[in-house]
Amino acid sequence: MTQRLDLSTAFLSASGWGSAARAPLAGDASNRRYERLTAADGTPAVLMDAPPEKGEDVRPFVAIADYLTSLGLSAPRILAADEANGFLLLEDLGDDLFARVVVKTPALEADLYTAATDVLLALHQHTPPQLAPYDAPVMADMAALAYRWYGAQNTGALDSQSAAFHSAFQALLAEHIPAPTVLIQRDYHAENLLWLPGRRGAARVGLLDFQDAMLGHPAYDLVSLLQDARRDVPIEVEQEMLAYYIAQSGHEAESFTAAYALLGAQRNLRILGVFGRLSLHANKPHYVDFIPRVWGYLLRDLAHPVLAPVRAQLLADLPAPSSALLTELKDKCGTVPTL
């Protein structure tokens, strides 16, 4: 920590922010840390500390931020960068996360979700940069995390069931999800979106945590927004925004709705696995508290006819999140190594 502090101090000094006041900001599920800086004249900025020795790489964040801002969207501007040591100085977009604004001003919920959907409509009109595809093989791999880390708690007890599911689900995705066409941010939800009412149009939404962007289907970020693992999005809002996106984008409703359900199931299965891993391996048990909500979304997605080929198998293989199971995931917090 002392070495990182010395490196960050040198970076800030070289960037003209050496005398700024520093205060910690909430982090995320990664190894990145954030600090809010306040210059002597009151100008704010944000320091991202992403240690390369812990597998972090700021270059994708820089590239995607530059791309998004070039489209007129409100990603943080890069004020200074030390890519080798993993430091970025970012424009401070404030503290008004959607998740906080909705609690404070519930009447704004419809406006917030419409604005966030407008961002996707705007983004999807542009040719994306070259990125890795989030295609059927990758998505099937990610969905199978639910078997390893949630269903079997990394014991290998569901390996044969996982392999059978992987094969069937990959075939289903390949049949119904066209080749990737748009940039997907992959963590597009209320904890990563900031309300900027002083800006206009799609720029009213500040964007965070997009460094893992890939090429994917237009429904992916929409389902990430509307089936939010961290807050209950009213089903009326979900249905309204899904219909709004389809109407504004011109997608054929039946095929897009099927893709939405498939990608919702894929995403929620991946999240079950990731949240299980964050407790069992990464010593972050609070993610277990989100699992019942994610399971509820999964059941909603599985009700769509497109998922009939895997519905019975999934429900037979994976346990519902009972109190006993959730307690076990927490009791084993930080005790399970990776294989």
| Same domain for 15 and 130 | no
**Domains in the chain, number:** 2
- Is residue 67 within 8 A of residue 129, CB to CB? The reply is yes
14-28, 236-250, 297-311, 317-331, range with the lowest pLDDT = 14-28
CATH number of the domain at 42, please.
3.30.200.20
> In which domain, by residue range, is 20 found?
2-90
CATH number of the domain at 152, please.
3.90.1200.10
pLDDT digits (tens, 9 = 90+) for 13-29: 999 999 999 999 876 65
Nearest-angstrom CA–CA distance, 92 and 75: 10
Nearest to 205 by CA among 128, 121, 271: 121
Confidence (pLDDT) at 196: 98
Nearest-angstrom CA–CA distance, 88 and 68: 17
| Same domain for 325 and 187 | yes
pLDDT digits (tens, 9 = 90+) for 179-224: 999 999 999 999 999 999 999 999 999 999 999 999 999 999 999 9
Tell me whether residue 216 is exposed, middle or buried, using C-beta atoms within 10 angstroms of its C-beta: 0 to 12, 13 to 18, 19 or more: buried
Strands 205-207 and 193-195 come out as: antiparallel
pLDDT at residue 339 tops 60: no
What are the start-end ranges of the H helices in the chain?
2-14, 59-70, 98-104, 109-123, 136-143, 145, 159-176, 219-226, 235-249, 253-280, 291-302, 308-317, 323-331
233 backbone φψ class: left, alpha, beta (φ>0; ψ -120 to 50): beta
| Same domain for 269 and 137 | yes
pLDDT digits (tens, 9 = 90+) for 52-98: 999 999 999 999 999 999 999 999 999 999 999 999 999 999 999 99
153 backbone φψ class: left, alpha, beta (φ>0; ψ -120 to 50): left
Strands 214-216 and 205-207 come out as: unpaired
Torsion of the alpha carbons at 272, 274, 278 and 282, rounded to the nearest 10? 150
Half-sphere exposure of 260 (CA within 13 A, CB side): 24
Q: Apex CA 269: angle with CA 195 and CA 131, to 5°?
A: 65
| Same domain for 105 and 27 | no
| Same domain for 323 and 231 | yes
Confidence band of 2 (pLDDT split at 50, 70, 90): confident
Confidence (pLDDT) at 35: 95
pLDDT at residue 32 tops 60: yes
Q: Supply the pTM of this predicted model.
A: 0.93
| Same domain for 25 and 149 | no
Nearest-angstrom CA–CA distance, 50 and 84: 10
Percentage, residues of the chain above pLDDT 90? 93
Confidence band of 1 (pLDDT split at 50, 70, 90): low
Nearest to 270 by CA among 239, 241, 291: 291
Nearest-angstrom CA–CA distance, 12 and 262: 45
Confidence (pLDDT) at 27: 63
Q: Find the distance separating the first CA and the last CA of the chain, reported in whole Å.
A: 28
Confidence (pLDDT) at 7: 94
pLDDT digits (tens, 9 = 90+) for 83-142: 999 999 999 999 999 999 999 999 999 999 999 999 999 999 999 999 999 999 999 999
Nearest-angstrom CA–CA distance, 193 and 305: 32
pLDDT digits (tens, 9 = 90+) for 270-312: 999 999 999 999 999 999 999 999 999 999 999 999 999 999 9
